[in-house]
Amino acid sequence: MAVHRELPPAKLAPTLAEIARGVRRDIVTTIGQAGMGHLGGDLSVTDILVAAYWRALTVDPFAPDAADRDRFVLSKGHCAVALYSVLASCGFFPRSALETFGGPLSPLNGHPNRVKVPGVETNTGPLGHGLPVAVGCALGARLRGIANRTIVVLGDGEIQEGSNWEAAMTAAHHRLATLVAVVDRNRLQQGARTEETKALEPLDAKWAAFGWEVRRIDGHDHQALVEALAPSSTGRPVAVLADTVKGKGVSFVEDRVEWHHRVPSAEQLRAALEELSG
């Protein structure tokens, strides 16, 4: 099974919606059973990851290290359960492996590890590292003469890290048109709202000032995501500002700062799965 850009457009929206619903069920189940995780951010980024893996990226779960594969970097590595759930949905490893998350000797740790998990391009966790790595991936592909693409997903809180803006300036200078940076703009970070911690807006103007092609969309609209993840139309790197809701899909988690890394109780897990069953 290869996951690539050639899914039938007519079937795209219902297919991705169904996949995303299943991924969200896997996320809440995995975190609930393990007693650890970052539920709010996992749920906000789900639709972005589903659109990336099931539509935008050219990858093959049976050849995860193929030289010409597209690269995906989850900079907000604390949302590893969302990445693991999407990789499992694509066939990189059995869904049953999600049951081992956080357990002794499990390859599925709280942050993704490229040595242990097929489909993971780079270890992430310290925020502000993913975009610099992605810039390196895009530059490396150019040097090797490979026409693959690189997509990196960042949390909006981590945009406060200066390393991102150094990388953004470098990407624009080298006109890395094969690079797409997606900001999961849920407006919450650990402990507070982003605008209370360190204001980010006008975020679109800031990316544009650094020389990027900017696309602002509803980060839960699958068709909008697919279109936004399309190649650059200007020869510049693309910044997708995906407006999302932290905890999307579970009403008592949505837009609640305390659910950054809270674990649902057994009763809350049942309620969340019921909401996600439709």
* String of DSSP letters for 118-171: TT--S---STT-HHHHHHHHHHHHHHHT----EEEEEESGGGGSHHHHHHHHHH
Confirm whether 111 is domain-assigned.
yes
User: In this predicted structure, what is the pLDDT of residue 15?
Assistant: 87
Confirm whether 3 is domain-assigned.
no
Q: Report the predicted TM-score, pTM, of the whole model to 2 decimal places.
A: 0.94
Torsion region of 247: left, alpha or beta (phi above 0 gives left; psi -120 to 50 gives alpha):
left
User: In this predicted structure, what is the pLDDT of residue 4?
Assistant: 44
Gap between the Cα atoms of 232 and 16, Å rounded: 23
DSSP 252: T
User: In this predicted structure, what is the pLDDT of residue 6?
Assistant: 43
Gap between the Cα atoms of 188 and 255, Å rounded: 8
CATH of the domain at 89: 3.40.50.970
Gap between the Cα atoms of 149 and 136, Å rounded: 12
Domain count, the chain: 1
pLDDT in tens, the chain (278 residues): 334 434 444 444 448 999 999 999 999 999 999 999 999 999 999 999 999 999 999 999 999 999 999 999 999 999 999 999 999 999 999 999 999 999 999 999 999 999 999 999 999 988 999 999 999 999 999 999 999 999 999 999 999 999 999 999 999 999 999 999 999 999 999 989 999 999 999 999 999 999 999 999 999 999 999 999 999 999 999 999 999 999 999 999 999 999 998 999 999 999 999 999 97
Torsion region of 59: left, alpha or beta (phi above 0 gives left; psi -120 to 50 gives alpha):
beta
Confirm whether 4 is domain-assigned.
no
User: In this predicted structure, what is the pLDDT of residue 126?
Assistant: 86
* Amino acid at site 151: I
Confirm whether 2 is domain-assigned.
no
Confirm whether 136 is domain-assigned.
yes
User: In this predicted structure, what is the pLDDT of residue 75?
Assistant: 98
Gap between the Cα atoms of 41 and 150, Å rounded: 22
Beta bridge partners, 151, equal: 72, 180
Confirm whether 88 is domain-assigned.
yes
Q: Read out DSSP for 204-222?
A: HHHHHHTT-EEEEEETT-H
Please give the residue range of the domain that contains residue 49: 9-275
Confirm whether 1 is domain-assigned.
no
The contacts of residue 137 (CB under 8 Å, 6+ apart) are: 71, 73, 121, 150
Contact assessment for residue 87 and residue 119, using Cβ atoms and an 8 Å cutoff: yes
User: In this predicted structure, what is the pLDDT of residue 17?
Assistant: 94
Q: What are phi and psi of 165, to 5 degrees?
A: -75, -30
Neighbours of 130 (CB within 10 A): 27
What is the side-by-side strand order in the sheet with 213-218? 71-74, 150-155, 179-185, 238-243, 213-218
Gap between the Cα atoms of 172 and 165, Å rounded: 11
Q: Cα 51 to chain center, whole Å?
A: 9
* Amino acid at site 23: V
Confirm whether 176 is domain-assigned.
yes
